[in-house]
Structure 1
Amino acid sequence: MEVLRQLRGFYRERLHFLYLSIICLAAATGVGLITPNLLRKLIDEVIVPMKFDQVPTLALTVLGVVFVKACLQFGHGFFGGRLGNFLAYRLRNACYEKLQYLSFHYYDTAKTGDLMSRLTGDLEAIRLFIGFGFAQLLNVFFMVLFGSIVMFSLNWQLTLITLITMPLLAAVAFRFESRIHPAFQEMRLALGALTTVVQENVTGVRTVKSFAREPYEVKKFSGRNDRYKDNQLEAAGLWSRYFPIMEFLACACIAILLGVGGTLVIKESMSLGELVAFFSLIWYIIGPVWGLGFHINNYTQSKASGERVLEVLNHPIDVRDKPETVELPTEGVKGHIVFDHVTFAYGNKLPAVTDLNFEAKPGSVIGFLGGTGSGKSTVIQLLMRAYDVNEGVIRLDGADIRDLGVRELRGQIAAVFQETFLFSSSIRNNISYGLKDVSMEEIIRAAKLAKAHDFIMEMPEGYDTIVGERGLGLSGGQKQRVAIARALLTNPRILVLDDATSAVDMETEHEIQSGFQEVMRDRTTLIIAHRISSLRHADLILVMDEGRVVQRGTHDELISVPGPYRDVYRIQYADYLKRQAGGEN
């Protein structure tokens, strides 16, 4: 019950619904005990002495009992449903909110399909148990208690003889619970893995088809599906082994009752009506104990689901605000950035950035050049506090960014990443994402600066055109230009361009760069690029290799000395240099 205790905060405000649900169910159980007594009276006081004039009264009494029991059952369902839905609503919001604030460290290993499984299937299992399963599990105790009391009042010797197999039945049921819980944990994990495969395949369907890898994907899905099937079969195997035993023990109780009770009736030590009432009452004990496995099954499923949901809710947030944050100047952020002996590593890996030092003065342009894995993008992630540095300090306008509020810091930065993400919405909404009260004129101006306005106007519905999931329906270059317009619209003090023009042609890149000259004015800009044409106007260029700065300077300074920068320049401008050399000859 530890999992339920940890989840209690999400339904504490509606705990009275739980109590009312339990009370209604317990009362319905108590009212149900009247029926066996009515049967006894019908046989012993009406049928045997043939006083049939009492039948209408008994029939009306039965109808009244059934009506009261139905009302109590309705109360149980109503209050239980309200409680379960309230819990699911609170949990769903809490999980989604937590996912928004979990650090990048978490998403480095998290799988989308598994998270979707937790927010759907796992939450549903918790809702059903808290709303109904817990009360029904507790009702097992009520039914056994009430039924035993009435049976003992009728014939305590027969009750003891009849229930002789009950302890063994209960022991088998609890043994079943201990075996089925790990099986359901594995089943949930397998379902999460299966969902992940489907999600990744649907998202990357174009890549799958372009490489003709459909058979491979089918095989991969079949493997995960086989694992889920095996888990289901393992759980079914446990049910098939334990439930026949529980059924045998339950039927043994009935056999003992009929044998011993029938003998007592023949010897006239017990009336026929009492035996019939006893037969009805025994199911008040056998039924709950027999069905204990079903309730335990629901409990174990909800327990396994609760553990998976709590993993998300209890996961620490690596990057969070300090109790007291430093506020940026009210007169405005200048955009003065300083990296002071910064070192950072992802987990236990080798440092991605080592002893990095540079200063970006307000309004300056800093360029980064280097091969894959050289640490360029890590610099941007550290500036935005996607991760906190291991050593050193990053300062914005003199303040350690770890002392600033995360939202306040990121609100000063607009980034355009190489991997562009667009939401399944209109182009207008994608450009104005996260902003309120933005005029259409401002959206168009940002789109024109990003050289996106012309192709947008060629769309069927212009800025109201709906793009597909992740921007499907637009080319890579078009998506990047929409993303650039989105960044420019925020009017940031710091602009980050992480290979932002990699998906556009040289001519479009030149046009966008021309637009950037106006945008960069009075803003601190960090540019990561593989093309030197994007960096040659930077105030400072840092050439990185394996997390270290191996060269720094302006474009003219770097091509004048041997080194990686000049090597890249000669490769990218080989044709131009050949033509220039041929002209000189």
Structure 2
Amino acid sequence: MPQNSVRMSPSEVKAQLKNSDTTMLQMLHFVFDSVLKRKSLLFLNIGLLLIIAGLNFIVPQFTKNIIDHALGQHDLSTLWFNVGGLLGTTILLGLLSFTSTYMMQILSQQSIKELRLTTYTKILKQDYAFFQNSKTGDLMVRLTSDINNLQSLISSDSLGLVGNTFTFVVVLVFLYLQNWRLALLVSLTFPILFITIRFFRSRIREAFSNVRTMNSQISNQLQATLTEIELIKSYTTEHAETKTFADIVDKTNTYTLEATKWQAIFQPLLLFINTSGTAIVLAFGGYLVVKGQMTIGDLVAYLSYVTILQNPINSFSRLINIFQTAQVSYDRIHDVMAFDAAIIEPTTPSAFPEPLVTSINFKDVSFQYELKTADALEHITCQIPAGKTTALVGRSGAGKSTLIRLLMRLYDATAGTITFDGQPITAIATQDLRRHISLVSQDVIIVDGTIGDNIAYGTPNATQEMLWHAAKQADIADFINELPDGMTTAVGERGIKLSGGQKQRLSIARALLKDAPIVILDEATAALDNESEKTIQHALDNLMTAKTSIVIAHRLSTVHNADQILVMDHGQIVERGTHSSLLAQKDGVYRKLYDAQFE
């Protein structure tokens, strides 16, 4: 049965990672889905905001009473009562505001923690094609800055919109009841505010989108530079790298200034419109006071209420910037969350056959990379016997590593089937499959931690006794014992404090501790000199004992004892047999490779 999982090309991966055109409603649903899991905190905050809005409505009444009654009638008791009421209400407002802000921060931190973990988990679960076509720096920005921008949506300012809307409606109705003509004149400024906000909205969003894109490019450049410092030093390309970085920074500055320009125009314009509303009240209200149709206290209170009325609009304008920045960030996070994996997990997975009894079978397997015109693998049919050692040899580009990637299901074959004791690879969950495979590669990955951390990586419950046993089998225990801190010795970023041979032995110890039934050695000694290779070979022999072993080897001297050698050329298996039988074929590919190495 052919493996018909959809395999995504690099260009399709990049297309999926381009900013999508999501809606504000989708963003709010994504963010507040986590908020609604904490309804008690949410409703407590909304209740506090409504109380704060009500108290803000009361404050101007104290001012009105002081001016019209206490001062107008020279009544000291009324004066002290209203001053006390004003101070008491202000203190209560401060306490409630503090409580609301603190509770909102708790809600915000808990919700954003969940969103960050959800996004991080989603990225880690993506398949090999995703990481091959994604920029590390860009993914880092999505997990850090973009998530932080979403946090601004869960704040007192954003949820305060509920209280502000309530205040706006109540105050507007009150003003119309007090003086409908004056309220109507003030209301004329609202459509102007709305049109202004609408005009600047798209421009601010586009500017922030450009800034966010350039920030990702800065992260990508920094990540590439700092991880390739040895190459840069070797080829003296410091000036070229600096110029590249300077160009990116220049573009970032240009887009940042553009965003700042729109904001700088927007805020003063908003202030002018609000001030126009205040001027209308002063002009017409002052006229009414002169005519005796309004008291001075009424006018002062009216001005306070107009300010309260403008606060929700001002808050909304501030939220425009927050929402626009958050929308850009959400678009980028949404791209990751909505990404369709190329490797399709089985809905009802079958267990990996343990122990592996008969063999791993490749039947008419073909595979093609997008950028190649010919298949990387063509109609591969072979059997890898359980408990035996199979070697894959051939020139560079023959398809050896590709075959291994299919075996680990980093890619899916475009045709044919791969089975383990008859169980199709597509029927086994990828995590279950990979738990049963240990890989030792020439490109050793060392995590930034201790010696023990590196050996125990992937086996978190390992005891100290198990670590030392694996270290002894990997012939690295003596080296560890000589270190001042032993297993707790820090290895440095990417294992910078270790030699190539020490790194390789650590990776072998890691694989020994994992104790998987299938062992893959992908040019495990290719980067070592002959002496180092000989010292490590004993550790490799320990690793392959009683295991189904697959050895990719460039040096043919390392595969003499393999139970089976598969010779690959141009994506096909052209010869198979033992070392002696293949060497006997004088015109064979293996014999030519062997002669070329030992001439």
TM-score, normalization: structure 2?
0.90
Q: 2:592 aligns with which of 567, 574, 578?
A: 567
* Native 8 Å contact 2:387 2:548 kept in 1: yes
Q: 1:68 to 1:153 in 2, by over 3 A?
A: farther
Judge conservation of contact 1:85–1:131 (CA < 8 Å) in 2: no
Query: Shift in Å at residue 348 of structure 1?
Result: 6.5
Alpha-carbon separation, structure 1, partners of 2:315 and 2:538: 74
Q: Give 1:338's aligned amino acid.
A: N
Q: Where do 1:159-198 residues align within 5 Å? A: 159-198=183-222
Partner Cα separation in structure 2 for residue 573 and residue 460 of structure 1: 43
1:344 corresponds, among 355, 358, 367, to 367
Q: Does 1:386 align with 2:440?
A: no
Distance in 1 (alpha carbons) for counterparts of 2:275 and 2:566:
82
Letter in 2 for 1:336: S
Shift of 1:335: 6.6
Provide, for residues 506-552 of structure 1, a one-character-per-residue CA deviation record: whole Å limited to 9, x for no partner.
12212332443343232111111211122222222223233222333
Tell me if structure 1 keeps the 8 A contact 2:553–2:559: yes
Calculate the TM-score normalised by the size of structure 1. 0.92
Equivalent in the alignment of 2:357: 334
> What does 1:414-493 align with in structure 2 at a 5 Å threshold?
414-493=438-517
2:59 is matched by which residue type in structure 1? T
SS in 2 for 1:209: helix
Matched, 1:90 2:133: no
Is it true that 1:144 corresponds to 2:168 in the alignment? Answer: yes
Q: What is the alpha-carbon root mean square deviation over aligned residues?
A: 2.1
C-alpha distance in structure 2 between counterparts of 1:279 and 1:214, whole Å = 62
Alignment of 1:67-106 (within 5 A): 67-106=91-130
Q: Is the CA contact 1:140–1:292 (under 8 Å) kept in the aligned structure 2?
A: no
What letter is aligned with 1:23? G
What is the aligned partner in structure 1 of residue 313 from structure 2? 289
Q: What's the counterpart of residue 282 of structure 2?
A: 258
**Alignment-mate amino acid for residue 590 of structure 2:** Y
Structure 1 position 441, deviation (Å): 4.4
Count the aligned residue pairs.
573
2:452–2:467 Cα contact (<8 Å) kept: yes
Q: Is the 8 A contact 1:427 1:465 kept in 2?
A: yes
Pairs within 5 Å for 1:542-581: 542-559=566-583, 560-574=585-599
Contact 2:49 2:100 in 1 (8 A): yes
Matched, 1:28 2:52: yes
Q: Distance in 1 between matches of 2:445 and 2:320?
A: 45
| CA distance, structure 2, for counterparts of residue 85 and residue 179 of structure 1 | 30
Counterpart secondary structure, 1:130: coil
Segment drifting more, 402-411 vs 36-45: 402-411
Task: Show the counterpart of 2:3.
Answer: none
Q: CA separation in 2, counterparts of 1:308 and 1:449?
A: 47
**1:358 — aligned with what?**
382
> Does residue 345 of structure 2 align to residue 310 of structure 1?
no
Q: Which moved more, 1:158-167 or 1:494-503?
A: 158-167
1:177 is matched by which residue type in structure 2? Answer: R
CA distance in 2, matches of 1:326, 1:315: 25
- How far is 1:554 from its partner? 2.5
Distance 2:177 2:227 in 1: 67
1:79 alignment partner, SS class: helix
Name the % identity. 32
* Aligned residue identity for 2:110: F
After superposition, residues 226-305 of structure 1 pair within 5 angstroms as 226-305=250-329
1: CA distance between counterparts of 2:159 and 2:465?
59
Instruction: From the superposition, tell whether residues 281 and 298 of structure 1 become closer, same or farther in structure 2 (CA, over 3 Å).
Output: same
Does the aligned pair in 2 maintain the 1:484–1:500 contact within 8 Å? Answer: no
CA distance in 2, matches of 1:202, 1:53: 73
Query: What does the per-residue CA deviation read over 1:291-330, in whole Å, with 9 as the maximum and x for residues that have no partner?
Result: 4321111112222222222222222233243121222346
The 2-side partners of 1:172 and 1:546 are apart by: 65
1:172 offset after TM fit, Å?
A: 0.5
The answer to whether the 8 Å contact 1:431/1:483 transfers is yes
CA contact (8 A) 1:177 1:293 kept: no
Q: Which residue of 2 aligns with 1:406?
A: 430
- The match for 1:116 among 128, 131, 140 is 140
1:126 Cα offset (Å): 1.3
- Of structures 1 and 2, the one scoring higher in RCO (CA 8 A, sep 6+) is 2
- CA drift at 1:566: 2.9
Mapped contact 2:101–2:156 kept (Cα < 8 A): yes
Task: Quote the Cα distance in structure 2 between the aligned partners of 1:139 and 1:439.
Answer: 56
**Which stretch shows the higher mean deviation, 418-427 or 237-246?**
237-246
CA distance in 1, matches of 2:263, 2:306: 24
Given that 2:394 and 2:400 are in contact with CA atoms closer than 8 Å, whether structure 1 keeps it comes out as: yes
1:148-205 superposed Cα distances (whole Å, 9 cap, x missing partner): 1232232111111123122111211122122212222222222122112222222222
Aligned counterparts of 1:319 and 1:335: Cα–Cα separation in 2: 26
Q: Distance in 2 between matches of 1:406 and 1:542?
A: 26
Deviates most, 288-297 or 385-394: 288-297
Deviation digits for residues 80-115 of structure 1 (CA, Å, limit 9, x no counterpart): 222211211111221222222111111011122111
The answer to whether the Cα contact below 8 Å between 1:394 and 1:400 also exists between their aligned partners in 2 is yes
Aligned-partner Cα distance in 2 for 1:263–1:525: 96
Output one character per residue of 1:378-415: Cα deviation in whole Å (capped at 9) or x when no partner: 11111111122221111112211111122221111100
Conservation of the 8 A alpha-carbon contact between 1:325 and 1:405: yes
Tell me the CA shift for residue 454 of structure 1: 3.7
Q: Secondary structure of 2:348's partner?
A: coil
Q: Is the 8 A contact 2:418 2:424 kept in 1?
A: yes
CA contact (8 A) 1:15 1:83 kept: no
AA in 1 matched with 2:388: S
Which of the numbers 523, 534, 538 marks the counterpart of 1:510? 534
**Partner residue of 1:126 out of 127, 138, 150:** 150
1:578: which partner in 2? none
Residue of 128, 135, 144 corresponding to 2:159? 135
Task: Give unpaired runs (5+ residues) of structure 2.
Answer: 1-24
Q: Which amino acid counterpart does residue 405 of structure 1 have in structure 2? A: A
Deviation of the 1:284 alpha carbon: 1.4
- SS at 2:381's partner residue? strand
